[in-house]
Every structure is written in structure tokens, then in C-alpha cells.
Chains A and B, each alone.
Chain A
Amino acid sequence: MRAFGGCTLVGLIVASCLSGGAAWAEPCLRDGDRVVLLGDTFIEREGEQGFIETALVATHPTASLTFRNLGWSGDTVWADSRGVFDPPAKGYARMLALVKELSPTVIFLAYGRNESFRGPAGLAAFRDQLSTLCEDLRAATGAGASATRLVFVTPHPFEGVDAAHRNAALADYCVAIRMIAADQKATLVDLFAKLAAELPAESSATENGVHLSATGYAAAARVFAAACGGELPADFAIRSAVVRQLVIDKNRLFFHRWRPANETYIFLFRKHEQGNNAVEIPQFDPLVEAAEAKVRAAARALP
């Protein structure tokens, strides 16, 4: 126990050194960046909430950014939620293939919460697999000067009755994430350490102890913006409501593109029945692009 306490302390120091994200010469987001968001329910629901994406678009108004949300509820660094009819390993491979196809320049990685339920016993495996995931993502997206930049996100703290002991476990996972981020000189979005400071007084971040409410996402957006070198005005959430709706609309279109319903009939083992409808799925691409153009235009028009 003492050892873990020590770890946590070191982690916090490392984290504080990294804070701000601007510690590195490279800016977190540049003009023309294609951003992929990978993670669990936190990322998946961000697609329907849009706060974080809105903040990043708005704080980089002249950069032509695109965002592709590949969050999947319950997911882990092993892609436990992505197997569908196959074992997770195949889902993991499909995820890498999709990332390759999207050829992102920036990938946000938001894992650790679901893994943390295994407690200290699962920590080493998590750390190893997070490193492996980073390597696999880099291998899938190319190296060198144009190498994809990874941005690490720590899970926000648990709230509610069991929060104390769950956060004790989660803290260790956050340390692992921070150390990998530091090791890779990558930007860190430290929700675990910084979310509370962005919340309105007396507000909780989550609606059920694990998933952020709208208030929580709005606060998280501020942490993301700060980590990526931006700053949001106090009334940003209200001012940017129109942009946020456009972000949500775009994300819905993209969801139908990458996780279409009826996959069984369109692409998988019953495709002999409805496979002809596969032609419709790429038809979402221009719709997603048009929707994203609207997002950018609206973001630029923000006062």
C-alpha cells in the first residue's frame, strides 16, 4: 500500500510538470489536423454531447480540423467492446484498420476507467497494453515527421457512494497514463486532476457517479481546451450552443457511417440478404464532410 502511495505522489509531480500542454514546443492541434477520439463511454457520449469537440474547434478557429469519434461504451485498451461477433482481438484489429483508413494526425486516447475495476492486480497489464496500443496506432498511421500525435486523457474521478475506494484504484491507473504520456512527450488532458477545478461550485460532474452530465462535459471541455493551448470564455457553453448542435448532428451522421445498424445483414454473415444496401453506407461520407464544414463555419462566426 505504501508503494502505491509513493507511486501516486510521483505521478502527481509528473502530472504537474506536464500541466498546460504547452510545455512542449509542438502545439497540440495544427491546421488541417484530422483528429480521432478513441475511448469508452466517456468518448462515445461526447459524440452526443459535443462539448469537448466544440471547445477544440472554437479555440482553433482558423485551423481546419476534423473529428472522428470512435468511442465505444465499455471499451478497454484491449478493445473488449469491439469484437461484435468475434473475439475482442479481432475488434482491436478492425479498430486499427479503421484508424489507418481515417489516417488521423492526432489521436486522443481516453482509457483506464473500466480497466480500473480490476484494481492494483490489473494495473501492470493495463500499462503494458496501453503502451502496445500506442505502438500499434503509430504503426497503423505512419512514422517520421508526419507521425500521428497521441494525446492522453485520464478518466475523470468517480463520484457517489463508492467513490473513495474506486478513485484510489483509478488514481494508480492515472499515474500509469501520465507516465506513458510523459515518456512519449505527449500532451496530457488530466481530467482526473483538473476536472474539479472547472466545475461550478456545489456541482457534481456526473449524473450517476461514472458518466459526465452536461455540466461535467462543459467542465471537461475547459480542461481539454486548456491542455491544447486554448482558453474558453466563462459563458462559452451558452455562446457556442449552435456550434455544439452542429457537432452533434455531424457525429450522428458519422456514427451511422462507422457503426451502421444491421451490420449483420449489410456486411457480415447475412450479407447475402441485404448486402446490396452496403452501397448506402459510404453515402454518409459527403454528408459528414458537409456537416463538418458547417461546424467550422459556425465556429468561425462565433463572437
Chain B
Amino acid sequence: MRCLIACCVIAATTPAFAQRGLKDIPPPDPAAELAAMQVAEGYEVSLFAADPLISKPLQINFDTQGRLWVSSSSVYPQIRPGEVANDTVTILEDRDGDGRADAHTTFADGLLMPTAVLPDDRGGAYIANSTELLHCIDRDGDGRADERRAVLSGFGAEDTHHIIHTFCHGPDARVYFSQSIYIHSHVETPSGVQRLNGGGIWRFAPDSLALDVFARGWVNTWGHVFDAWGRSLATDGAGGEGIYYAFPGAAYQAAVGTPRILHGMNPGSPKYCGLEIIGGRHLPDDAQGMLVTNDFRANRVCRFRLTETGSGFASMKLPDLIHSSRVTFRPIDVKMGPDGAIYIADWYNPIIQHGEVDFRDPRRDREHGRIWRVTAKGRPLVPRIDFRGLATAELFAQLAAPESYAHDMARRELFARGDAVRADVDRWLASLDRPGTDYERLRLEALRLKQGLDRGSAADIDLPLLKAVLASPDSRARAAAARIAIDWAGRIEQPADLLAAVIDDPAPQVRLEAVGALAAIGGQRATELALHAVDHDRDEYLDYAVWLAARDLRDAWLPAVVAGTFDDGGKPARIIFAARAAEAQEVVPWIVDRVQQGRLTATDQAAALEAIAALGGPTELRLVFDLAADPKTDPTQAASLLRLLVETQGRRRVRPAGDLAVVTRFLTAGDGPGLAPAIEACAAWNIGAAGQPLAAIANDVARPSADRLAAIRALGSLSGEAARAALVDIARGPDSAVENRATAITAMVAKWPEAAATQAAVFLAECGDSKALDTVYRGFLTTKGAAGKLAAVLDTGSKTLPAAAVQAGLQAISSAGRPEPELQQALTAAGSRSSGMAESVSGRHVMTGADLDAFVQQVRTKADAKRGEEIFRRESLKCVACHRVGDHGPRVGPNLAAIGAASPLDYIIDSLVHPAKNVKEGYQTLVVLTDDGRVVTGIQVARSDEALVIRDALDREVRVPTAEIDEESIGTSLMPAGLIDPLSREEFADLVRYLSELGK
């Protein structure tokens, strides 16, 4: 007993398996760390600051005096019982300008995991303090905070690498900051509670205390930067899509509360942390405007080039700026500095974060940390400026400097000076050369100054200037001005009319911002204008923006449309778009009217019918149905209408009124485009008359397999003995293909589980096809209670099953996300009864200690990546059924394009052996039981009040209406345990080797 306890204790405290590769932690010598860096041609790296001056830097930001503020935590990831949190914010200065910090002041201490610090440009700073956003003020100017108060509180701390982070100043004088996916925040403000569940970017106006969510979603928006025109770019540490374009209301992966999301520009990227746009005189021409971020897992500093396209950007990855061979180099933040050099915060830690490694692992570094400085070889530095010491006129002059750094600092300092400089803005603007090369940007700066110096009075706004910038020849200025108009809308008469000038702008990005501004302004007139965007081309971002506006403004346009007072400019497409976006069923009669009047263009007519099919009630759906069923209707259009009607049945459980049996016409009319949707329609509407023709299709060997399988599945949805008998016949075979047999068994599960189980027991014993086996098991596992029925049949008949069938069953259970102990036992028993059962291979690759060390060595020295790739692509191993490597392939599991660069060898091994142990953020399985007995297992794609969208193990997006969810729980990993069991040790080594080289 004592021994057992001792063993348990050891097991519990042994450092996680994933960190085995970290046995050789290099000594923390900055010189050696520097020597291990490969730096891009033309650049060099020097040490700006290191421990003991600073330790464990989490965020860095320069103030207007050129001092570098560093937030640090040794408490991370978790406070110990009895430990008094004493994390710090430090100010570093390079007084002699030699590129090395020579003075430091502890600005604040006693902090709890300060993940971010942002100087307030008045000597104080905003500091993230776990659940609070603190404002610390230095009254006496000694560089130490004298006052500390929570300006915002109620942020979640469910995960300490998700707590509020990435503070930055917006060009609109707001403070922007982020929270990550597991955080739930409830913040009281003077105008009410603001809540954000899940990830997103907040924005906060320190003067008015207004707080709102700027954009939502992402796993970890650890990078956020504004470009010269005020456009937001972000990175995600785990989203895997590289650089993201963020605008007000945008939603990305894992967003809570929206059914629709946008995507990043570099799918297949690793986790990134920190983001900066580089440029200025010190850096070479080809560096201007580049984005720099950090792949901290792979010890790299990465570069991207953006190009404007449509309403957003395209992003291209470039060769790395720095790549280190030392596991302790953990670049996590990057900022342009006052001398024109690039500053990089190196968290310095062999352990990446806390998910996979014990909080108390002794190898966690709690004392070191570096700030590196990257300069261009042989190029002069930029003269350092203390913006706080400049006269106001000099600050204005700096807005035209060659460095964006100078623009940002000058603007911040002008904001800080407040009312005193307000009158100077006009004088400066009037003094500018027009048309100077930079005039449009500078005039926008003047507008921004007015925005930032606004204290809420009617006199603070500058309507003529706003109008002038909205009419700027530069589309980027027009787009920025549209967003600024929102802040002033409450003090402008008919603010929506201001945006009329830009809603039909030739530049898509201007239209995008105009739509957003109109949505924020609200009201009927704003909606009428916003929907102009429907007249123009819409890319992903723009379509999203109009869709969002139509939803947000539903109350502003819907009553007017119903009352006939909405001005659609004679373009019904606008209202049809809005109706579909907002799922406004009330508009259906209006649309039906337009269809019946017969005056719609062909495009509008198609859109109108789709809208009716999506939103209508039984009577209106009948109109669509009759049109679809009419032999005179174009077959392609008929097919698309049928498809929409089927979708409506699934989504809202509404069907066209009356007898629908005429749809069987498509089943006997050959294989036109209407066949597939008609088969689905027969199933969805349970058309009894379809039994015969469906069985005929199912058994017609001359037909394409897809049609036959669809017919088999449809039979399972019909009531009646005939359908059941037809399915049993197919399931029995032996004339049917295994896939058809498996599908027939699966089709029976929902309605006739006992019959399905009886057929399955026979089939499982004789089928050697792993895919078909998987289909059958999945059929039972996705119907509530069915797995137990299968178990009973296996048990009562003392059935025997071959090893492959048992293995496939256990794997299917493991990825189903919920325990099925009865079936698990029944399968194991059925396997053990099998004579000549091969020795179990289950768990053969579980390794510990010296065995594991030897295996790691084998991977490094003997394994072959090419052979590994062949193994990876084996269909029987199922890797490629779920994972993509690069831009194409399924999205069920994480993209493995960069796994090798990002993950140590032992982590890869561990993830293959114990898939449930290291689940990547955003890939946690959700198990949903529906009110009709279905079990849906998969990864959450989106969630709103109306529905949950899940990506299942077959890479299908399944939409489950919230009203149909009976029960919801969280599983572990969709990846079944034991997938690699069939591999020999050599093959396993080859596979690991292949994966470990991906992305390198």
C-alpha cells in the first residue's frame, strides 16, 4: 500500500512527458543566447537589457520620453498558497544612447501577473493586474507610482495566459486591449455592464470611461497594431491563420455570440505573439511597412508583407528576421524604438506555457529575461527625441517625420496636453503645403487630434474638417474619417447623411467603414444607406459588414419595410439581403408580393425565392415547392430551391404545406441535378411513396455510388415496414458493397436500433474494411442509447469479433467524446472470445524513461521522414482524414504545417500516444445531445443565441439549433487513442520524424 502511494505521488509530480526534450537546458548566458541566433542578412542583434535588471518580460511599450516600460511576472502561471504576489512594472532608460539600458526604476510592485503595461503619457501607466485594469499615477515624478486604482474590473482569470493583455494606444485616444478564449468578463461602467465571454479586443476611452468590444473571437490576440491609417492588424497565438485584419464588429474563430466568422490571411501558421509594423530611416527600403511577429514556440522572429486588396489585405510570409537554436529564446513582444531600431522582449523560458507542463515544474524559469535590439548594419540610427520635452509646434512638425514611431508619439503627447493645444491644430493644418505629398495623411492627423481632444461638448467637433477628409482623394483617409464620424454622430444633425457621400465609394474599404459607421449611428435612414452596399461587389469582409449591419439594425428597418415606408431606392435586392441576414420572416409577404408581381430581374428573382425558401412559412414554402416541382422550371434552379427547402426543414422544422409526394418525380426522372436534393427531401419530409423508388435506386448497380448511398440513408428516415425491410436486405448483403451495407446498418439505427444491432453484429464479424467499420460504429455512437443495444446483441449471442473490428470500435468510442462503458466491455469480450486473436497491440507505444530516451534517439538518428510521410498518408491510419498540412485538406484537427518547427519532439510523440492529453486550444471536443436523440460530437465553430455550429470528425459543419440541445458536455480530443497502435516501432519513429520536420 505504501509503495502504491509512493508511486502515485511520483506519477503526479513527475514533469510532464512533453518536456522530456528539455533535459539540456542551456545556461542563461546572454552572450551564448546571442551567439545562437541566426539573424537575417543586413541586420544585427545586441542586448538592450537583461536579468537582473529585468526578469520575465510580458509586454514592452515605449513612452513619449523614449523610456521602455516592461511588465514582468514571476508569479505566473499560478500563485502558490501563502505567496504574496509581488510582480513588477519597470521603466528602462538608455540615457547615454549607446543602445543599452543604463537606468531602471521599479514603477510599481505588488502586482499579480501584470500581462501588460501601457504608459499613459502623463507619467503614469495602465497595467493589467489579472482581474483588473489598473491606472497607476506618478504624482511626484520620481518614476514610482504613488496612486493606484482599478479603472476597470471584472475580467476573468480562468486561464492566466488568457487574462487581459496586449495593451496599445489607438489613434483615436482610446486604450485597446485583448482577452483570450477562456476568459469571461463582466465589467461595470457608468453606462452599464459590458460583458465579453470568450476572446476579443476591448476598447476603452479613459476620459469618458466608455468601454465596448471592438472585435470578438480568436484564441489569443497577443498581437495588435494600428497602421498609419488607423487600420487594425492582429495575430493569434493558436488561431493558426497568421495575420488578421480587424475592424469594428469583426468576429473571428471561437467568437461567442455570432453565427458567422471571418478568417486570417495566412492559414497554416503557428502561434504568434506580439505584432509591430516596422519602418523609418534606420531600416532599409525593403523593410518599410513590414509586419514583425514572434513564433515563440519555434524560437523565431517572423516577417510578413501586406498588400491592400478589396476591403482588406493580403498577407505574405517572408523569411525570418531571427531564428535561434536555443529553446530558451522566447520572443513574445516587439516594438519600434526611439532610435529607429526594433526591440524584442524575450521571455526566456524553456517551458512555453502552462497547459502541458506542471505549474510547479522546477525547470520553469522565473528569473531571467531579455530585451534584444535589432539594428540594420551600417545604417545610421534615428536621432532620439524626448517628445514630452518638445514645444507644441515641434510636436506638429513630428507628425510629418519619416517615422511612424514619431507620428504616434507626437499624437500621444498632443493628446496628453489636452485643451492647451486644441486651437493650435487649426493653425498647423492651415500652414501645411497643399497639395504636399503627405497632405492627406496629415489632414487626417488633424482630424484625429480633434477626435482625441474631444471632451464631449458640441464645440469640440469639427464638422467641416470631417467632411473634408470624407472627401479626401486618398481612400484610406476617407475610410478612417467614416469611423471617426461615429464618435461625433450624437452632435451632428442627420449624421447618417454625412456617410451618404461614401457609402457608394469606389474603394471597398471605404464602403466597409461606411457600413460600420451607419450601423453604429442606427436609425432608418442609416439602414437605408448602409444597404446601398448590397448594390456593389462584396468580398468576405464587406459582405460580413453588411450582414452584421442588417442584423444589428433589424429594429430600424424591419417595421419600416413592413409598413411600406422603407426607401430601397427601387432595389429590392437590398431588402432581400437584409431579410436573409437578419432571418426576418416578417419580410416574406413583401418578398412574395414582389415575386408575384413578376417584375424582378432574374438575379433578384432567384434571390427572392431563396429568401422565401429560407424564411417562409408552410404556405409560402409551398409556392417555392410548386416552382421547384414544375417540370418547366430550369432543373438547376429547381435543385437549388429543393436544397433550400430541405435546409429549412432541418433548420426550422417547417415544410411546405400540402401533399409533397410529387417530389418523387425526380427519383424516377433519371440523374438530373434535382435527384440528390429530391432524395434528401423525401427523407426530410418522410414521403411514404418514396420507399419504392428509393429502394430501386439503392439497389441499382448501374447508378453512381453517391446516389445509392444517399437513397439508403433516406430510407432510414422513412416510416414503415417496407423501408426497414429494404434496409435489412441491403445490410445482409452479400450482394451489396461493404460501404452500402455499413450505410444501411447506420441508416437503421435511429428508428430500428435492435434490427440495426443484429445486422451490425454479423457485419462487424466479417468486415475487414476499416472505413466501413468506422461508419457502423459511428452510427451507433451518434444516437443516444444505441451503443448499449449493440453491446447487448454482442453479449447475448456471445459473439466473437476479430481484432481489427474491436480496435476500430474502441477508437470510435475514444473519439466520440463520451464514455460508452457497455459497448467498450462488449467489444473487449467479443475480441477475447475470438480464437487465434492476435496479441493485443493496444498501448504498445506507451514509453517511459530510458525506453523513451532511446526512442527519441532513434527518431533523431535512424528514422526517415520520407517513409514517415508515406505512413502519414496511409488511409488506414486516418491522419489525413482530419489534418491538413498547408492550405488544403480537412480542418477537423489542427493544421500540421508548422508542427515540427513549433513543437519539441517529445511533445509530438506524446500527442500521438495520448491524444487527449495535449489538446490544442480551440480543439476541445463538444458533445451535444439533441432532443431527437442525436449525439453530435465535434469542435465548436461558432455559437450564437440561435444555434451552435460544430465541425464533426468527418469535417462537416453541423448546425444544431439551440432549442434542440438537450445536454452539452465537454469531451477531450476528437483524435482517437490507439491510432498508431498498428505501427511498428520503426514506422512510428518514421512518422514522428516526418512530423518533426514540418515547418522547418
Please give the residue numbers on chain A whose beta carbons come within 8 Å of chain B beta carbons, in ascending order: 40-41, 44-45, 48, 72-75, 80-81, 83-85, 113-114, 117, 158, 160, 162, 207-211, 252, 256, 259-265, 268-270, 272-274, 276-277, 280-281, 283-284, 287
Contact = CB atoms under 8 A, between A and B. Distances in A.
Interface centre among A45, A84, A211, A264 (most CB of B within 10 A): A264
26 contacts: A48-B150, A73-B131, A74-B195, A81-B186, A84-B158, A85-B158, A114-B188, A114-B193, A160-B190, A208-B151, A209-B190, A209-B209, A210-B189, A210-B190, A256-B81, A259-B157, A261-B130, A262-B157, A262-B160, A268-B158, A270-B355, A272-B916, A272-B972, A273-B356, A277-B358, A280-B80
B597 interface: no
Contact of A265 (B82, B191, B355): B355
B917 interface: yes
A129 B923 CA distance: 37
A79 to B, nearest CB: 10
B183 to A, nearest CB: 9
B958 interface: no
Given A269-B924, A274-B354, A287-B82, A73 B158 contact: no
Interface in B912-929: 916-919, 924
A160 B568 CA distance: 42
A207 B186 contact: no
Nearest to B916: A272
A72 B187 CA distance: 10
Contacts, number: 127
Name the residue in B156, B190, B917 with the highest tally of chain A Cβ atoms < 10 Å from its Cβ.
B190
Contacts of A274: 354-355, 358-359
A300 B358 CA distance: 43
A261 B188 contact: no
Given A84-B184, A265-B355, A270 B157 contact: no
Contact of B160 (A85, A261, A269): A261
Interface string B936-952: 00000000000000000
Residue among A41, A209, A268 facing the most chain B CB atoms (10 A cut-off):
A41
A259 B359 CA distance: 17
Given A256-B79, A262-B159, A284-B81, A272 B917 contact: yes
A45 B187 CA distance: 12
Given A44-B154, A207-B149, A262-B78, A75 B354 contact: no
With most chain B CB atoms within 10 A of its CB, the pick from A85, A158, A262 is: A262
A116 B918 CA distance: 45
Interface residues of B, number: 49
B914 to A, nearest CB: 9
Interface in B91-117: 113
A210 B130 contact: no
B703 interface: no
B77 interface: yes
Nearest to B914: A272
B188 A74 contact: yes
B12 A273 contact: no
Most B Cβ at <10 Å: residue of A40, A261, A272: A261
A265 B159 contact: yes
Contacts of B184: 81, 83-85
A264 B182 contact: yes
B570 interface: no
B971 to A, nearest CB: 8
A53 B81 CA distance: 23
A270 B182 CA distance: 11
B188 A41 contact: yes
A81 to B, nearest CB: 4
B464 interface: no
A247 B160 CA distance: 25
B186 A80 contact: yes
A208 B209 contact: yes
Nearest to B150: A45
A117 B194 CA distance: 12
B571 interface: no
A84 B917 CA distance: 23
Interface string B722-746: 0000000000000000000000000
Contacts of B188: 40-41, 73-74, 113-114, 210-211
A162 B77 CA distance: 41
4 nearest A-B residue pairs (beta carbon): A73-B154, A74-B186, A283-B81, A81-B186
Contacts of A256: 79, 81
A74 B187 contact: yes
Given A262-B159, A264-B182, A272-B917, A74 B78 contact: no
Contacts of B918: 273
Contacts of B358: 274, 276-277
Contacts of B130: 261
Interface in B121-168: 130-131, 149-151, 153-154, 156-160, 163
Nearest to B77: A262
Contacts of A272: 916-917, 972
Contacts of A84: 156, 158, 184
Contacts of A287: 81-82
Nearest to A209: B190
Contacts of B189: 208, 210
B192 interface: yes
A219 to B, nearest CB: 17
B12 A276 contact: yes
Nearest to A82: B186
A265 B360 CA distance: 14
Contacts of A113: 188
Contacts of B150: 45, 48
Contacts of B160: 261-262
A69 B184 CA distance: 20
Nearest to A266: B78
B109 to A, nearest CB: 15
Given A277-B78, A277-B359, A114 B192 contact: yes
A291 B973 CA distance: 42
A263 B186 contact: no
Contact of A261 (B79, B186, B187, B355): B79
B190 A73 contact: no
Interface string B331-371: 00000000000000000000000111011100000000000
Which interface residue of A72, A85, A209 has the most chain B CB atoms within 10 A? A85
A73 B187 contact: yes
A269 B81 CA distance: 23
A239 B245 CA distance: 55
B970 interface: yes
A272 B359 CA distance: 13
A211 B153 CA distance: 11
B78 A73 contact: no
A284 B81 CA distance: 5
